Chains A and B, each alone.
Chain A
Amino acid sequence: KQEVTQIPAALSVPEGENLVLNCSFTDSAIYNLQWFRQDPGKGLTSLLLIQSSQREQTSGRLNASLDKSSGRSTLYIAASQPGDSATYLCAVKTSGSRLTFGEGTQLTVNP
């Protein structure tokens, strides 16, 4: 059974800092890995999707990497801003069309 773990559970940083969020998964037989952002009281918005054959994806100040063999992904946020404050979730897609989610990292960026 696939299990996804995110560390840390919560993170508070000053504005402008570069930061890394971590995601690990137990079964390396994945189709892809996605990072999502969730604002309070809202649904999830997909940030980046990395297919199993890829090593990384970039969008603006966000960079996500994938090391399938070690079961790890990182989300790098450069020059963090207060507007980046949200919960970030990673999810892996395995067989049977299922996404397995981590519990999320709650990020607070302080002005």
Chain B
Amino acid sequence: NAGVTQTPKFRILKIGQSMTLQCAQDMNHNYMYWYRQDPGMGLKLIYYSVGAGITDKGEVPNGYNVSRSTTEDFPLRLELAAPSQTSVYFCASALDSGGQGNTIYFGEGSWLTVV
């Protein structure tokens, strides 16, 4: 299993541009998440999904959109990039979340700079 795969690893965007961060998992996990991590800070939840066709907002959803057309893929779309979106983005997945305590697996991150 490759686990959770994120692309691209690094990207520089100009203000106002748009892009999509790709995330794929091959563990047949139902739950998928997008987090952002600013320097010296913990992770903030952007969006999450509990299964194909279902998405929900996290703590910091503004400026982002997601879709979940398949179990495997959970892309994150940045529209009209702003400097405040400069951050490291992590995708994660877990089998389920019904208090069963399943481990969450993270991708290696995507470093995004908006200039």
Contact = CB atoms under 8 A, between A and B. Distances in A.
Interface of A: 4, 31-32, 34, 36, 41-46, 49, 51-52, 89, 91, 93, 96-104
A31 B50 contact: no
18 contacts: A32-B101, A42-B108, A42-B109, A43-B4, A43-B107, A44-B106, A45-B106, A46-B103, A51-B99, A52-B99, A89-B43, A93-B97, A97-B97, A98-B45, A99-B104, A101-B35, A103-B42, A104-B42
Which 3 interchain pairs have the tightest Cβ spacing? A101-B42, A43-B106, A97-B97
Contact of A43 (B41, B97, B109): B109
A49 B108 contact: no
A97 B31 CA distance: 8
Given A4-B42, A98-B48, A46 B104 contact: yes
Interface string B25-46: 0000001010100001111110
B58 interface: yes
Contacts of B42: 4, 89, 101-104
A101 B59 CA distance: 12
A51 B31 contact: no
Contacts of A43: 4, 90, 106-109
B64 interface: no
A74 to B, nearest CB: 18
A41 B56 CA distance: 28
Interface in B78-110: 90, 92, 97, 99, 101, 103-109
A98 B97 CA distance: 9
